[in-house]
Chain A
Amino acid sequence: MLKNKEQERLALEFSQGWSYAPAPESTDHVQLQERYSLFIDGKFVAPSSKKYFPTVNPATEQVIAEVAEAGKKDVDKAVKAARKAYDEVWSKMPASERGKYIFRIARLIQERAREFAVIESMDGGKPIRESRDVDIPLAANHFFYYAGWADKLSYAFPNRRPRPVGVAGQIIPWNFPLLMAAWKLAPALATGNTVVLKPAETTPLTALKLAELIRDSGLPPGVVNIVTGAGATGAALVSHPDVDKIAFTGSTEVGKMIQRAVAGTNKKVTLELGGKAANIIFEDAPLDQAVEGIVNGIYFNQGHVCCAGSRLFVQESVAHTVVRKLKDRLKTLIVGDPLDKNTDVGAINSAGQLKTIRDYIALGKSEGAEFYESPCALPQAGYWCRPTLFTGVSQSHRIAQEEIFGPVLSIQTFRTVSEVIDKANNTPYGLSAGIWTDKGSKIFNLGQQMRAGVVWANTYNKFDPTSPFGGYKESGFGREGGLQGLAPYLQFD
């Protein structure tokens, strides 16, 4: 057997030889307008502010469309429409009828899946492989799943007389634009609430296409309203007195602002915030599959994932092997045009986010961690970051403490089970964790001791509408998905 040092003289060669020709997904079938207004009371209406802002393709820096900026007046109009629809139509409709509308939305998403996938990749920079195989099918599945609950709420919560809350204000992030809209809308509608939804300012297009789809579905006007804009629009929605419930997914910083804003009101709140998840590899783990799990954990969606496995803990006895395998795997990741079917890692969502990531990479270097990045070439235009990892990281490094929200992995080693439990839980966040071992008892032991809302065993970043998702500590509170995801939109006796 060769020693570790001798192994370093060996290398696999991935850059030469047979390579794949470009395979761009066609955009011919995509219908986009040059300018989008606000979707209020079943119609697209111009903003009272008359202001529009551009939304940019992060892979080309080209403007794709202009989108209305909703001011206070527009938000008020949307909330009024939602209230009217709630009082006059939606809360009075038999639950089985409500379910039919939601089923119809789910089917329409499936029918238009290809268009949605392409727009999602154009507007957000994520690879078409992910938007096509993950985002859009999962979004449809959420509507299907919650449609089924609509007329069964009294079975979900026996003897508690579940009733809708009223008007829900929902604010969603830019990392999974349509999927997050589905996570928010589907349970709210199934439980009989009406909604004002604000998509993120960098990725509003699939939500607006969803508005068109909802209009085509015949859903009664005002049940779903979609207002676009940045932070101020969100703040207007949160502080609107006639909103009964706030659901927010985004940064911990904004989550704290929202909690301050609703303090002293009767508004129900759920927050799904940041994360800095531990992904733990034991020496008895299936290492090649674990390496794949590490890649899916941190480079999926360019690392723009709140539950990303950004802190890797590897047992010391296999650390050398795992890091070597991981570096080889990074060489085979294809970074580039999000619309190419062979792309594994797409564009960073915005110039601002790219700057944040670069600052953290510089910080990691200055903190003395050992830096490695994939050797891939990057396109000229657009916002790009190579898949990156840091070894020699300790708990006291800021790159191991703070959420980077990019394709940057920090790797630490550990010796014992109790040590890794301590370190994994030693974070203000607690959204998710991963455990890799061949031993079932170890999975159950660690699974119970992780202070994290989701714990994956021998896999990572798996999502299903039937499974609840949410955080501990500064990762937020409330659960989305599954039966548990109904509760935040209901009041009980």
Chain B
Amino acid sequence: MSSSVPTTIPDFRLTPTIDQVGVEERAARFRTRSIKKEAKVAGLKLALSMIDLTTLEGQDTENKVRQLCYKARHLHDAYDGLPTVAAVCVYPSLVRVAKQALGDSGIRVASVATAFPSGQAPMPVKLDDTRFAVAEGADEVDMVISRGRFHQGEYNYVYDEIAAVKAACGEARLKVILETGELGTLDSVRRASEIAMHAGADFIKTSTGKIKPAATMPVTLVMLEAIRDFYFQTGKMVGMKPAGGISAAKPALHYLVMLKETLGNAWMNNHWFRFGASRLANDVLMQLVKQQTGRYQSSDYFSKD
């Protein structure tokens, strides 16, 4: 398939238009889906398996990361048959610790890079940041785009930067954070998505989690639709990661509904979809236990690492 794809880069000034009112209506419609019983349990387990368990703070320490990695492997041992999360996401300086702590669990180590979260650093610094994370053992790199350059209309710069980081990633999968909360319109979200995908992103991701609003359903829908169009234009699948602001099980199920009805079953796994979240896992666990026992337990029955 890919041999027949010419390597033309489209004119990013001409990306498709987006109608915000229509997007919001469609996103609201997914929220009216009623997910009960076995569908709910299956959805909640799927959501758990898609989580990138994240700690991205100045105060992060090696021990904090080890604790988080144990949680990643043992979400709630009192409940049989739970999946693990998909990945643990940390700063580059802690990748080695996470890699050791996760061992052969199959859980991936993701690392933010490229002067996360602002991206305000010279290109060589960003590339060094990326190479360091990969050399330390990161399986996945979460980069940020240069939003300032994007707003200046320098789409080629943004494209080239993503392509350079992708090259620096080597085997690691690249997630490109658009920081949609700083892009202003859904038209810009669509445009940034296309730039990222054409430049080689394996995933596109909404947010750093440091800016509000972070992930929303309308923004995610626009990105999913961009992924769908890109798939039909090139034959290539790209993953999606909404991040920040999804802390409860019910909205997580609504995201899965949106994913299923927009991209279909091929994307319904943690190879192609992730939740960037630190608090989501415990709410999902609480709902799962409630489905099993019929009772809600206090949050003190679920470990906080």
Pair A18/B46 contact, Cβ less than 8 Å: yes
Which residues on the B side are within 8 Å of A14 (C-beta)? 260-261, 264-265
Which residues on the A side are within 8 Å of B231 (C-beta)? 10, 12
Say yes or no for B233: interface residue by CB 8 A criterion. Answer: yes
Pair B268/A458 contact, Cβ less than 8 Å: no
Pair A342/B34 contact, Cβ less than 8 Å: yes
Say yes or no for B228: interface residue by CB 8 A criterion. Answer: yes
Size range of the chain B interface in the assembly: 35 or more
Given contacts A2-B233, A12-B266, A332-B261, are A19 and B39 in contact (CB under 8 A)? yes
Q: How far is the CB of B128 from chain A (nearest CB, A)?
A: 34
Pair B17/A13 contact, Cβ less than 8 Å: no
| Contact residues of A between 1 and 41, Cβ < 8 Å to B | 1-2, 6-7, 9-10, 12-21, 23
Say yes or no for A289: interface residue by CB 8 A criterion. Answer: yes
Q: How far is the CB of A283 from chain B (nearest CB, A)?
A: 10
Pair B266/A438 contact, Cβ less than 8 Å: no
Q: What are the interface flags for B13-40 relative to A under an 8 Å C-beta threshold, 1 for contact and 0 otherwise?
A: 0001111011101100000111111111
Given contacts A13-B266, A23-B36, A341-B34, are A1 and B234 in contact (CB under 8 A)? yes
Which residues on the A side are within 8 Å of B25 (C-beta)? 292
Say yes or no for A293: interface residue by CB 8 A criterion. Answer: yes
Given contacts A6-B4, A14-B261, are A287 and B266 in contact (CB under 8 A)? no
Residue of B nearest to A333 (CB): B261
Pair A288/B225 contact, Cβ less than 8 Å: yes
Q: What are the interface flags for B229-252 relative to A under an 8 Å C-beta threshold, 1 for contact and 0 otherwise?
A: 001111100000000000000000
A293 to B19, CA, bound (A): 11
A438 to B14, CA, bound (A): 12
Pair B232/A10 contact, Cβ less than 8 Å: yes
Say yes or no for B5: interface residue by CB 8 A criterion. Answer: yes
Say yes or no for A285: interface residue by CB 8 A criterion. Answer: yes
Say yes or no for A324: interface residue by CB 8 A criterion. Answer: yes
Say yes or no for A464: interface residue by CB 8 A criterion. Answer: no
Given contacts A12-B228, A13-B265, A289-B22, are A18 and B256 in contact (CB under 8 A)? yes
Pair B4/A2 contact, Cβ less than 8 Å: yes
A164 to B17, CA, bound (A): 50
Which residues on the A side are within 8 Å of B34 (C-beta)? 20, 23, 341-342
Residue of B nearest to A436 (CB): B19
Which residues on the A side are within 8 Å of B43 (C-beta)? 18
Which residues on the A side are within 8 Å of B16 (C-beta)? 286-288
Given contacts A12-B228, A341-B32, are A458 and B266 in contact (CB under 8 A)? no
A332 to B19, CA, bound (A): 21
Given contacts A18-B39, A18-B256, are A459 and B17 in contact (CB under 8 A)? no
Pair A286/B38 contact, Cβ less than 8 Å: no
A468 to B227, CA, bound (A): 40
Residue of B nearest to A285 (CB): B17
Q: How far is the CB of A340 from chain B (nearest CB, A)?
A: 8
Say yes or no for A359: interface residue by CB 8 A criterion. Answer: no
Pair B17/A284 contact, Cβ less than 8 Å: yes
Say yes or no for B152: interface residue by CB 8 A criterion. Answer: no
Q: How far is the CB of B94 from chain A (nearest CB, A)?
A: 34
Which residues on the B side are within 8 Å of A9 (C-beta)? 1
A307 to B254, CA, bound (A): 31
A324 touches which one: B8, B32, B232, B264 (CB < 8 A)?
B232
Say yes or no for A245: interface residue by CB 8 A criterion. Answer: no
Which residues on the A side are within 8 Å of B260 (C-beta)? 14, 17-18
Given contacts A1-B8, A324-B232, are A289 and B23 in contact (CB under 8 A)? yes
A290 to B233, CA, bound (A): 19
Residue of B nearest to A132 (CB): B32
| Contact residues of A between 426 and 440, Cβ < 8 Å to B | 438
Residue of A nearest to B43 (CB): A18
Say yes or no for A129: interface residue by CB 8 A criterion. Answer: yes
Say yes or no for B184: interface residue by CB 8 A criterion. Answer: no
Which residues on the B side are within 8 Å of A324 (C-beta)? 232
Which residues on the A side are within 8 Å of B22 (C-beta)? 286, 288-290, 292-293, 458-459
Which residues on the B side are within 8 Å of A6 (C-beta)? 1, 4, 235
Pair A289/B5 contact, Cβ less than 8 Å: no
Pair B4/A286 contact, Cβ less than 8 Å: no
Given contacts A12-B264, A16-B265, A19-B39, are A438 and B232 in contact (CB under 8 A)? no
| Contact residues of A between 399 and 443, Cβ < 8 Å to B | 438
Residue of A nearest to B264 (CB): A12
Q: What are the interface flags for A319-360 relative to B under an 8 Å C-beta threshold, 1 for contact and 0 otherwise?
A: 000001000000010000000011000000000000000000
Q: How far is the CB of A118 from chain B (nearest CB, A)?
A: 15
Q: What are the interface flags for B148-164 relative to A under an 8 Å C-beta threshold, 1 for contact and 0 otherwise?
A: 00000000000000000
Pair A2/B5 contact, Cβ less than 8 Å: yes
A133 to B43, CA, bound (A): 25
Residue of A nearest to B257 (CB): A20
Which residues on the A side are within 8 Å of B8 (C-beta)? 1
A277 to B25, CA, bound (A): 22
A20 to B263, CA, bound (A): 16
| Contact residues of A between 118 and 146, Cβ < 8 Å to B | 129, 133
A178 to B16, CA, bound (A): 40
Which residues on the A side are within 8 Å of B122 (C-beta)? none
A293 to B26, CA, bound (A): 10
A21 touches which one: B1, B38, B233 (CB < 8 A)?
B38
Q: How far is the CB of B44 from chain A (nearest CB, A)?
A: 11
Interface-centre pick from A12, A14, A23, A324 (highest chain B CB count, 10 A) = A12
A473 to B99, CA, bound (A): 73
A341 to B29, CA, bound (A): 12
Residue of B nearest to A288 (CB): B225
Q: How far is the CB of A301 from chain B (nearest CB, A)?
A: 15
Pair B6/A1 contact, Cβ less than 8 Å: yes
Which residues on the B side are within 8 Å of A15 (C-beta)? 265
Pair A21/B37 contact, Cβ less than 8 Å: yes
Residue of A nearest to B24 (CB): A289
Pair B17/A286 contact, Cβ less than 8 Å: yes
Pair A286/B18 contact, Cβ less than 8 Å: yes
Say yes or no for B42: interface residue by CB 8 A criterion. Answer: yes
Q: How far is the CB of B148 from chain A (nearest CB, A)?
A: 26
Q: How far is the CB of A92 from chain B (nearest CB, A)?
A: 46
Pair A17/B234 contact, Cβ less than 8 Å: no
Residue of A nearest to B263 (CB): A12
B32 touches which one: A21, A133, A290, A458 (CB < 8 A)?
A133
8 closest Cβ contacts across the A-B interface?
A289-B22, A23-B34, A17-B265, A12-B264, A286-B19, A21-B39, A341-B34, A438-B17
Q: Name 14 interchain pairs, CB-CB below 8 A, sorted by A.
A: A1-B6, A1-B8, A2-B232, A9-B1, A17-B265, A17-B268, A18-B42, A20-B35, A21-B36, A21-B39, A23-B36, A332-B261, A458-B22, A459-B22
Give residues in B with beta carbon < 8 Å to A. Answer: 1, 4-6, 8, 10, 16-19, 21-23, 25-26, 32-40, 42-43, 46, 225, 228, 231-235, 256-257, 260-261, 263-266, 268
Give residues in A with beta carbon < 8 Å to B. Answer: 1-2, 6-7, 9-10, 12-21, 23, 129, 133, 284-290, 292-293, 324, 332, 341-342, 438, 458-459
Given A1-B5, A10-B232, A459-B22, 18 more contacts at CB 8 Å?
A1-B8, A2-B232, A13-B264, A13-B265, A17-B265, A18-B43, A18-B46, A20-B35, A20-B39, A21-B38, A286-B18, A286-B22, A288-B18, A292-B22, A292-B25, A292-B26, A293-B22, A341-B32
